[in-house]
Amino acid sequence: MTSELMSNTNAMRLADLAKFSEIVIQCHDNPDADALASGFALRWYLERMGRQARFVYGGEHEISKSNLVLMNENLGINCEHVTSLEPPELLITVDCQYGESNVTAFSAENVAVIDHHQVSAELPALSEVRSNYGSCSTVLYEMLRAEGVDINEDRNVATALYYGLMTDTGDFTEISHPSDRDLRDLAGFNKALITLFRNSNLSIGELRIAGEALQRTIVDEARCYGIVEAGPCDSNILGIISDMFLEVDGVHSCVVYNTLPSGVKFSVRSCVKEVKASELASFLAENLGGGGGHLVKAGGFLKRDLLVRAGVDLTKESLKRFFTGRMNEYFDTSQIITAGEYRADLAEFSRYRKKMFHVGFVRVADFAEPGRDIAIRTLEGDVDVTVTEDVYIVLNVNGEIYPIHRDKFNRSYRVTDEPYVYPGEYPPNVINNVDGERLPLLPFAHSCISIGGDGIYAREITGRVKIFTMWDRDKYYLGRPGDYLAVRVDDPTDVYVIEKNIFAKTYEKDDR
């Protein structure tokens, strides 16, 4: 599953903003940690470039939430609350878009936008919106990297961006993009300050909200899931309730939600490998908003207008029916397949061979010692691999990545001397699972051509299929309607899923 990058056609660089002299950075009214961190990092960059910038927010209320007050003071963010503003040469909105209802309207000669939310209206020429990122802090992190700037040169900046990502993704539970994971893993943050901020985030009122919510649980004993509606609260409170609910015997996965003026925020937890919290969150939000995270913790948001359009109002009973129905559908329509145990009925399959096309490959032993455990960081998630001389990695036509045994590689591909050009959005990295060291994968990539090999048997998937492959018994790959379930002709125990667009590009019928 590949995320789409929603941005303006011509990507903006931070250097484009440094061309202006009089600059004001503005975050949305009632700013959160992500907005404060993003504006702080942007101002830091501009000051490095010899430009002075003012950092402000509007609205009726000044920052009062204790963790944000501490963040503002301890990191030297100094974001000002203003009710009026002389029109600057350049106004840059961060973590929001100019003209939105939650952004006080200030005039300016020129406007720029840096954000990670869905595009709500026409963007100015100077804009960078990456809607598949978990936080605006990540957008700033990547834009700074593009300028050759390391956030760890300033520990306060690294701490702010780390905390901005953490809070906007529910303690990293809603991370889906690899750039988010990079910021989480590589930021040299101040641990003492993060601990201080985290432990100043829950009020007595919010503690009561959690207690009251847990008195209104719904549990499906057959499917082993639970549902809870909470009152109005910060998204981190939903996570706290989810964590507590998952400790109940017989509850293997749960969703906790609350209603906001703009829609419904929800948190998901799972403690069994057959349910990825991130995948369940994505399913719940399908066509209604967005959801993501990682294996055991995730979350998402359902937009009010999309819910209403789907016939779901935001009353208690309607939302209860919605979440119960979606959870039942999820569990009742998912098939689980484990490679090595699955025996395909080949009467339902057709035989296909690979077309000839150029792809890339990497010999894992070229960059890592045998026996080392590594994670290959890709858009689809982290792929865990134990290094041996026989493990190769194929970089396919759209940049998707999968491991393959050397014998199977040699039967399916022919190595060429042509230089390799990666076609994907996010250049893959390798993470050493022991020390967290990050290593770019592409410098070790070579070109090869598919030669077909013995081919595969495949059939189109009509439901949802979770496949535990030969390479990973703990994390499944998801097949959706329209994708293809495949088994190798030379090894019928090797079963996997091929995304429908990739299948159309890379396979053709084999009528022998």
pLDDT in tens, 152-183: 999 999 999 999 999 888 788 778 688 999 99
Nearest alpha carbon to residue 158 among 137, 139, 180: 137
Mean pLDDT of 75-93: 96
Residues 38, 131: one domain?
Answer: yes
- 2 lies in a domain? no
Taking only the tens place, the pLDDT of each residue in 104-159 is 999 999 999 999 876 766 889 999 988 778 899 999 999 999 999 999 999 999 99
Is the pLDDT score of 389 beyond 90?
yes
pLDDT band, very low/low/confident/very high, at 435 (cuts 50, 70, 90):
low
The 10s digit of each residue's pLDDT in 475-500 is: 888 899 999 999 988 888 889 899 99
Residue 98 lies in a domain: yes
Q: What is the pLDDT of residues 411-420, one digit of tens each?
A: 889 999 999 9
Look up residue 383 and give its amino acid. V
Is residue 177, in this structure, part of any structural domain at all? yes
**Domain termination site, one of 152, 173, 198:** 198
Instruction: Give the CATH number for residue 250.
Output: 3.10.310.30
Residues sharing a CB contact under 8 Å with residue 99, sequence separation 6 or more, in sequence order: 105, 120, 121
Per-residue pLDDT of 4-54, as tens digits, reads: 223 333 479 999 999 999 999 999 988 889 999 999 999 999 999 999 999
User: Which of 166, 198, 230 represents a domain boundary (last residue)?
Assistant: 198
Evaluate if residue 92 carries a pLDDT over 60: yes
Higher pLDDT among residues 293 and 404, named by residue: 404
* pLDDT tens digits, 196-251: 998 886 677 777 888 888 888 999 999 999 999 998 876 667 878 888 899 899 99
Residue 27 in contact with residue 95, Cβ under 8 Å? yes
Q: How many domains does the chain have?
A: 3
Give residue 66's pLDDT: 84
Whether 56 and 194 map to the same domain: the answer is: yes
Q: Give percent of the chain above pLDDT 90.
A: 54
Whole-angstrom Cα distance, residue 186 to residue 162?
9
Are 23 and 112 found together in one domain? yes
Q: Give the sheet arrangement for strand 464-468, strand by strand.
A: 334-338, 464-468, 477-479
Residue 20 sits in the same domain as residue 151: yes
pTM of this structure = 0.62
Q: Is the Cα torsion angle 23, 27, 30, 36 positive or negative in sign?
A: negative
> 189: domain range?
14-198
Residues 35 and 102 in one domain: yes
- CATH number of the domain where residue 135 is located: 3.90.1640.10
pLDDT above 70 as % of the chain: 93
192 and 49 within one domain = yes
Query: Domain check: are 157 and 279 in the same one?
Result: no
Place of tokens 């979606």: 326
Residue 421 in domain: yes
Q: Are residues 182 and 36 in the same domain?
A: yes
Following CA atoms 467, 470, 472, 475 in sequence, which dihedral angle do they give, to the nearest 10 degrees? 10
Whole-angstrom CA distances from 228 to 210, 213, 287, 307, 511 are 10, 7, 22, 19, 53
Q: Does 355 map to a domain?
A: yes
The tokens describing 479, both together, are: 């097949």
Q: How far apart are CA 389 and CA 407, in angstroms?
A: 11
SS3 362: strand
Q: Rounded mean pLDDT of the chain? A: 88
Give yes or no for residue 369 having a pLDDT over 70.
yes
Query: Is residue 251, in this structure, part of any structural domain at all?
Result: yes
Within a domain: 8:
no
472 in the same domain as 356:
yes
Q: Does 486 fall in a domain? A: yes
* Residue 447 contacts residue 392 (beta carbons within 8 Å): no
Do both 194 and 269 map to the same domain?
no
Domain final position from 154, 175, 198: 198
Long-range contacts, 204-207 (Cβ 8 Å, 24+): 206/233, 206/234, 206/237
Tell me: do 194 and 210 sit in the same domain. no
- What phi and psi values does residue 413 have, to the nearest 5 degrees? -135, 155
Does 187 lie in the same domain as 51? yes
Whole-angstrom distance, CA of residue 325 vs CA of residue 500 = 27
* pLDDT band (50, 70, 90) for residue 512: low
Give the pLDDT of residue 380: 58
21: helix, coil or strand? coil
